[in-house]
Amino acid sequence: MALHTPTMLLMIMVVSAVTGAAIAVIAYRRHPDLLLWSTALALHGLGYALYCLRGLIPDFLSIVVANMAIAAAFALFGEGLYRFQARQPVRWLLWLPVPLSLLGFSVLLHDQRARFMLAGLLVSAQSLVLLLTLWQRRRVTPGRGQYILATGLTLVLSVMLLRVLGMFLGEVHIAAVGDSHPVQSATFVISLVGLLLLAIGLVMMNQEHAEQALQNERGAERFRSQILELLTSGLPLRQVLVAMVQGIERLHPGMLCSVVLLDRQGRHLAESVSPSLPDFYSAAINGLEIGEGVGSCGTAAFMGQRVVVEDIAHHPYWAAYKALAARAGLGACWSQPILSSGGKVLGTFGIYHREPHAPSPADIQLIEQSAALASIAIERSREAQELKQSEARYRCLINSANEGICVVQGDLIRFANPKLCELAGYPENVILGRSFLDFVHEDDSDLVVRNRRKRLAGIDGDFKYPVRVLTREHGVRWFELSGTSFEWEGQPATLNFLTDITDRVQMEERVRQFAYHDALTGLPNRRMLMDRLGLAMARHKRTGQHGALMFLDLDNFKPLNDRHGHDAGDLLLVEVAHRLKGLVRESDTVARFGGDEFVVILGDLDAGEDAARAHAMSVADKILSTLSEPYHLSLPRPDGDHAVIEHHCSASIGVALFLGEPGTEDDCIKQADGAMYQAKQAGRHTVRLCEPPRKVAPVQLQA
């Protein structure tokens, strides 16, 4: 059956234009990859529009330019696909059909059969290139959109090859493009179906990619929390680094991660943690002297800055190691130096890919954060090793006098070695004869006295503990105090060893800050929020006073990110946190729950429910008003200056009162969250109170 060919051409032209316009609307300011594809659809429609005008316009336009437009459309499809896959496109392969169309159709302008065969071969070749591009990244592209896109391309490829084969064998005779012929009709019908599948597949791929990115972000947050917990658990360094590397690889399939440590001199690559790389590769780089041109990791360690090699086979840094990388199946390597808190290079964190690959901004953020976590783990491990070594030396401290040592008898210092005098910053004649507590911070005095009495009484226990010591030149410093009881000149005394652990304490505080506070705003995170809420409930159950929990969700936040980027969104969140902290008491809690959601705990409101409710609603109204005031956000510009943007943002607030039943924290948050959604549904920029279920009075039965 032959369909009316001009009508089919018109349908393809209209479908191309409409789907291109629809995709352009979807892509505006959100999905730049789709803008390329919407432009490709527009070119595709232009080509068919010129087909429709055959006989009304010069043949050069309706034949040569029309086919060039369709060839350019397929090239743009390829450009968008490569950009979606974060890869460098093979541009000569994508765009070669455009000049071939110009040359070929100009020469064959009066040979209809040859033109039909050339058009079919060019479309077939371009469809095949797109299919191969999809196939290469099929394992790391999420969702079903790629399969719908591949189905559309396969249909187009199949019908074009059959058409070319039929004409080559002489089985198909089409005199003109507008002829109604069964093969011509089948070609255009399948092309139309393929075009629709192509558009649907492209949109689905972007949607699924966005959903996957959101899941990855949530998984990354859980992963960071797990690693921070491992850092505080005291596990061996290699075990922590293996967990870190494998966790990142699970979150980002296709990545092969590696941590390479430097030797103590900082001049050679040493131990590596790379469970997904071949053993021969790890063995080959072990012991290499760092320097420019020693792969990505050796160069990054030498230069102290990130090195991104998108294509190992053609990069000068890998010239001497291309064969090794090829044997290991490596195509790209990005390496970030791992720096200590003092700026010293400890090693490198590397991300490999099997094929040439360019990093996205999210990839750069990932490698920076991973290197920072690895830095904390390495420094903590080295400090632990140094502490063990110092403990082994304690047995000979009295003879070698390498640590601070003093003898305390009664309450007075009877002996102090030179090292102690150096640490305290006082000469020996100033220290001797003075009370040991004169050099101890007043908040730690009771602890020192109790432990000293236990030592003298012979009570077993671990008397190695941190105390704050008042030094002359460096102010308050943390020292680890340990020792034992013995006799000094025939009288009971204590032998005390003091080691400066200020750096270690500060490092542990950094880890605790990571584990219990939001890195962006500095507010308590969800874990600390639950602890604070449990304590508040326990206290209110004792006192009988009501408390309140507010759940806030920002209105009009996503448009700010879409228009100005995540940097602007981060600035807004920081400013919201600052305003919230200024609206409540120091005893109250303001926490970031996640994303643009915040939680406020108000304690000790009132024993009466009505008064407590009124107090809580008054604070909520004040918060609502303050958060609605304009925000002026200063964003850096490429020229080094700053641009100030004004943004208006409100909030939806849900409020739940509580008296205090420890163990019901989740219920309280759910109640406030539900009230917040009621505020959202009521039009946003409003407050809703979660009303407890009304109690039903018991029925009095008459005798």
CATH number for the domain spanning 332: value is 3.30.450.40
Range of weakest confidence among 46-60, 245-259, 312-326, 661-675 = 46-60
* Number of domains into which the chain is organized: 4
Instruction: Using a pLDDT cut of 70, give the percent of the chain over it.
Output: 82
Question: pTM higher than 0.75, yes or no?
Answer: no
**Cβ burial 199-214 (10 Å sphere, 16+ → b, else e):** bbbbbbbbebbeeeee
The Cα-based distances of 550 to 228, 517, 522, 679 in angstroms read: 28, 19, 19, 12
If you average pLDDT over residues 376-405, what whole number do you get? Answer: 66
Backbone CA torsion sign across 296, 301, 302, 305: positive
Three-state secondary structure call for residue 631 = strand
- Alpha-helix residue ranges (DSSP H) falling in 321-478: 322-328, 361-393, 397-400, 418-424, 428-431, 445-457
* Whether 330 and 190 share a structural domain: no
pLDDT digits (tens, 9 = 90+) for 423-451: 888 998 889 989 999 998 988 888 888 88
If you average pLDDT over residues 107-123, what whole number do you get? Answer: 82
Write down the pLDDT at residue 655. Answer: 93
User: Tokens in use for 688?
Assistant: 């809703």
Reply yes or no on whether the pLDDT at 64 is more than 60.
yes
* Whether 244 and 186 share a structural domain: no
680 assigned to some structural domain: yes
Q: H/E/C letters for each residue in 487-532? A: EECCEEEEEEEEEECHHHHHHHHHHHHHHHECCCCCCECHHHHHHH
State which of 152, 185, 214 marks the end of a domain.
214
Q: How far apart are CA 346 and CA 365, in angstroms?
A: 19
Return the closest-CA partner of residue 121 out of 62, 168, 66, 173: 168
State which of 486, 506, 526 marks the end of a domain.
506
Confidence grade of residue 63 (pLDDT, cut at 50, 70, 90)? confident
* Whether 248 and 273 share a structural domain: yes
Range of weakest confidence among 244-258, 502-516, 545-559, 678-692 = 502-516
Q: Which amino acid is at 413?
A: I
226 assigned to some structural domain: no
The Cα-based distances of 441 to 140, 160, 437, 447, 479 in angstroms read: 58, 86, 8, 11, 11
Element (H, E) at 480: strand 475-488
* Whether 194 and 317 share a structural domain: no
* Residue range of the domain that includes 44: 5-214
* Whether 451 and 549 share a structural domain: no
77 assigned to some structural domain: yes
CA neighbours within 13 Å on the CB side: how many for 212?
A: 15
* Whether 612 and 676 share a structural domain: yes
DSSP codes of every residue in 221-251:
HHHHHHHHHHHHHT--HHHHHHHHHHHHHHH
If you average pLDDT over residues 380-391, what whole number do you get? Answer: 66
Backbone CA torsion sign across 120, 121, 125, 126: negative
Return the closest-CA partner of residue 292 out of 309, 270, 272, 273: 309
State which of 506, 535, 566 marks the end of a domain.
506
Residues 6+ apart with CB under 8 A from 3: 180, 185, 188, 189
Residues 6+ apart with CB under 8 A from 671: 549, 654, 656, 690
Instruction: Using a pLDDT cut of 90, give the percent of the chain over it.
Output: 19
Reply yes or no on whether the pLDDT at 693 is more than 60.
no
698 assigned to some structural domain: no
DSSP, res 218: H
* Whether 255 and 381 share a structural domain: yes
* Whether 198 and 278 share a structural domain: no
CATH code, 537: 3.30.70.270
Q: How far apart are CA 328 and CA 285, in angstroms?
A: 12
Q: 650-658 and 687-689 as β-strands: parallel, antiparallel, unpaired? A: parallel
The Cα-based distances of 618 to 11, 294, 511 in angstroms read: 62, 64, 37
* Whether 88 and 167 share a structural domain: yes
696 assigned to some structural domain: no
Range of weakest confidence among 181-185, 358-362, 523-527 = 181-185
Write down the pLDDT at residue 486. Answer: 85
Q: What is the Cα gyration radius of the chain?
A: 36
Taken as a whole, the chain contains a residue count of 703
User: Tokens in use for 668?
Assistant: 């309280």
201 assigned to some structural domain: yes
Confidence grade of residue 653 (pLDDT, cut at 50, 70, 90)? very high
User: E strands, 304-367, where?
Assistant: 307-309, 332-339, 345-353
* Whether 238 and 384 share a structural domain: yes
DSSP, res 175: -
Q: How far apart are CA 318 and CA 303, in angstroms?
A: 16
Taking a C-beta distance cutoff of 8 angstroms, is the pair 663, 538 a contact?
no
* Whether 101 and 178 share a structural domain: yes
CATH code, 457: 3.30.450.20
Mean pLDDT of the chain: 81
CB atoms within 10 A of CB 378: 20
* Whether 662 and 530 share a structural domain: yes
701 assigned to some structural domain: no
496 assigned to some structural domain: yes
Q: How far apart are CA 75 and CA 77, in angstroms?
A: 5
